[in-house]
């Protein structure tokens, strides 16, 4: 498995030692082919669904049996780390290989999955949301327009998204029809690197996630009026950037004081016309908010929108809100959390329970079937960075916990 991780980190390798495997880019397509070959090498059944999600299955003797699904993603952010995603897919692949080699016969099928475009080059959590039947034509149109990635190897123009999908042998139609039958599944497990320093600081091996924060993305468009930057008296301006600046700092104060542990981020501001000597006529601001409580998430959203309206009014601007996407906060399954903790205990690993602050495919899956996830430490908590590193012993722990959780789950099914 360590060798697999090494080999995979050569695909889309960047000069800084990270990887760029944006969904449906050339390196991502190469990764897909590599994974398919590794699944075949392991003697597992390969399958790709309409969302381009890749599966390797270890079937059991009973074709009517249900399936334990586990995995993560193989795509990356631009110049991202080698472990974010692959750790989960390859630990699961290793677990299936180990169980197959040991000749253990189980009452369930085991399936390893790599979900498409988890990082949202095109559509955030695209593969898992399609798998859960949560993508609609409207959400595709709203979100694929965001296409942040500069993918030279994907054609330009309005068909970029379709061209990107086509490269992986799928289409918007197949994407919208990729919904799985949840009745076929017992549940889902994901292992991931921790994208923060908590485990390392506490000298722990495993962090079992009990809940994942919800995320809401939206564009706020503050509309003012272009004017000469010298001629127009300051008191008479409708400067969209003034309103936006006012909003951002007040929003930060609001979230910090009223909604801990909620967080917000304004990661993009598109200014028009964007030049030295013209008063900004319009700013389109990307606002992302996260919270673990569904009620607090709703209240935070309500108060932030009221604040945006107040800032806009104060600077005599118009405000338009464009919703982009919403993944509700996800409490994870207690039973699966217990199974993972039991596996960690059996392996004499030091473990704890924690809240997850980043979005993961488990979030989507948890609405569909009993799901849980666990973390292994990432050195200095670094992630989405070429310096991301997880020690070999932690990678091995990830796979061992996966094997034992799967076996524990299978035993529980037999024992009832
Ligand atoms: Zn990830």
Distance 66 CA to ligand 1 centre (A): 26
134 and 113 in a common domain: yes
Distance 118 CA to ligand 1 centre (A): 7
Given a contact cutoff of 8 angstroms between Cβ atoms, the answer to whether 383 and 84 are in contact is: yes
Distance 88 CA to ligand 1 centre (A): 9
Distance 398 CA to ligand 1 centre (A): 14
Distance 123 CA to ligand 1 centre (A): 14
Residue 10 three-state SS = coil
374 and 319 in a common domain: no
Final residue of a structural domain among 265, 299, 327:
327
Distance 64 CA to ligand 1 centre (A): 32
| Res 210: pLDDT | 94
Distance 329 CA to ligand 1 centre (A): 17
Distance 76 CA to ligand 1 centre (A): 8
Distance 294 CA to ligand 1 centre (A): 23
User: What is d(CA 110, CA 96) in angstroms, rounded to the nearest whole number?
Assistant: 7
Q: How far is CA 133 from CA 50, 129, 140, 171, in A?
A: 11, 6, 12, 15
Distance 67 CA to ligand 1 centre (A): 23
Q: How far is CA 100 from CA 23, 340, 364, 403, in A?
A: 30, 20, 29, 11
- Using CA atoms of 79, 80, 83, 89 in order, give the dihedral in degrees to the nearest 10: -100
Distance 116 CA to ligand 1 centre (A): 11
Distance 380 CA to ligand 1 centre (A): 17
Final residue of a structural domain among 312, 327, 342:
327
336 and 387 in a common domain: yes
Distance 157 CA to ligand 1 centre (A): 29
Q: Which helix (H) or strand (E) holds 9?
A: none
Distance 262 CA to ligand 1 centre (A): 20
Distance 125 CA to ligand 1 centre (A): 10
310 and 242 in a common domain: yes
181 and 231 in a common domain: no
Distance 189 CA to ligand 1 centre (A): 14
141 and 17 in a common domain: yes
Here the CATH number for the domain that contains residue 251 is: 3.30.70.360
Here the CATH number for the domain that contains residue 192 is: 3.40.630.10
| Res 143: pLDDT | 76
Distance 319 CA to ligand 1 centre (A): 34
Q: Which helix (H) or strand (E) holds 346?
A: helix 334-346
Burial of 246-267, coded b for 16+ CB within 10 Å and e otherwise, reads: bbbeebeebbeeebeebbbeee
Distance 413 CA to ligand 1 centre (A): 29
341 and 303 in a common domain: no
Distance 30 CA to ligand 1 centre (A): 19
DSSP states along 121-172: SSSTTHHHHHHTT---HHHHHHHHTT-----TTS--STTHHHHHHHHTT--H
Distance 321 CA to ligand 1 centre (A): 29
User: What is d(CA 112, CA 37) in angstroms, rounded to the nearest whole number?
Assistant: 14
Distance 175 CA to ligand 1 centre (A): 21
Distance 251 CA to ligand 1 centre (A): 28
Distance 260 CA to ligand 1 centre (A): 24
335 and 194 in a common domain: yes
Residue with tokens 């007040």: 250
Distance 403 CA to ligand 1 centre (A): 20
| Res 148: pLDDT | 47
- Using CA atoms of 385, 89, 154, 126 in order, give the dihedral in degrees to the nearest 10: -100
322 and 343 in a common domain: no
Residue 35 three-state SS = helix
Distance 85 CA to ligand 1 centre (A): 4
**pLDDT digits over 219-236, tens only?**
999 999 999 999 999 999
Final residue of a structural domain among 294, 327, 360:
327
Distance 65 CA to ligand 1 centre (A): 30
Residue 411 sits at φ, ψ, to 5 deg, of -65, -40
In terms of residue numbers, what domain contains 302?
Answer: 214-327
| Res 351: pLDDT | 98
Distance 367 CA to ligand 1 centre (A): 19
* Residues of the chain with confidence (pLDDT) below 70: 145-158
Distance 22 CA to ligand 1 centre (A): 12
| Res 416: pLDDT | 77
Q: What domain count does the chain have?
A: 2
278 and 235 in a common domain: yes
73 and 36 in a common domain: yes
259 and 187 in a common domain: no
Given a contact cutoff of 8 angstroms between Cβ atoms, the answer to whether 355 and 322 are in contact is: no
Distance 318 CA to ligand 1 centre (A): 37
Distance 87 CA to ligand 1 centre (A): 9
User: What is d(CA 400, CA 91) in angstroms, rounded to the nearest whole number?
Assistant: 8
Give the pTM.
Answer: 0.81
């Amino acid at each position: 498995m360590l060798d697999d991780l090494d080999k995979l980190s050569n695909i889309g390798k960047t000069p800084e030692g990270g990887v760029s495997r944006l969904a449906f880019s050339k390196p991502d397509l190469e990764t897909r082919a590599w994974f398919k070959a590794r699944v075949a090498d392991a003697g597992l059944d390969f399958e790709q669904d309409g969302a381009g999600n890749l599966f390797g299955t270890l079937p059991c003797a009973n074709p009517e049996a249900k399936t334990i699904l586990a995995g993560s993603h193989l795509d990356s952010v631009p110049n991202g780390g080698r472990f974010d995603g692959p750790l989960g897919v390859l630990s699961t692949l290793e677990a299936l290989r180990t169980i197959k080699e040991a000749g253990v016969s189980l009452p369930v099928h085991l399936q390893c999955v790599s979900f498409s475009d988890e990082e949202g080059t095109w559509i955030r959590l695209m593969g898992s949301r399609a798998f859960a039947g949560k993508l609609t034509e409207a959400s595709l149109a709203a979100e694929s327009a965001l296409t942040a990635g500069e993918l030279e190897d994907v054609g330009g123009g309005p068909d970029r998204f379709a061209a990107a999908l086509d490269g992986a042998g799928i289409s918007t139609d197949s994407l919208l029809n990729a919904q799985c039958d949840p009745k076929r599944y017992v549940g889902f497990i994901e292992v991931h690197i921790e994208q923060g320093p908590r485990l390392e600081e506490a000298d722990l091996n495993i962090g079992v996630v009990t809940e994942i924060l919800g995320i809401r993305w939206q564009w706020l468009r503050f509309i003012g009026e272009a004017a000469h930057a010298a001629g127009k008296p300051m008191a008479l301006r409708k400067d969209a950037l003034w309103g936006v600046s006012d909003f951002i700092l007040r929003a930060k104060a609001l979230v910090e004081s009223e909604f801990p542990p909620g967080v917000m981020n304004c990661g993009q501001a598109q200014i028009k016309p964007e030049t030295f000597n013209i008063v900004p006529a319009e700013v389109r601001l990307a606002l992302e908010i996260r919270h673990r409580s569904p009620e607090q998430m709703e209240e935070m959203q309500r108060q932030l929108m009221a604040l945006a309206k107040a800032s806009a009014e104060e600077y005599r601007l118009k405000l338009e809100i464009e919703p982009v996407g919403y993944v509700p906060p996800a409490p994870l399954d207690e039973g699966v959390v217990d199974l993972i903790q039991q596996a960690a205990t059996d392996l004499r690993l030091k473990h704890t329970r924690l809240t997850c602050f980043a979005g993961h495919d488990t979030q989507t899956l948890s609405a569909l079937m009993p799901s849980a996830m666990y973390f292994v430490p990432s050195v200095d908590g670094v992630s989405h960075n070429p310096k991301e590193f997880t020690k070999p012993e932690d990678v091995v722990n990830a796979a061992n916990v996966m094997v034992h959780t799967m076996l524990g789950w299978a035993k529980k099914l037999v024992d009832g």
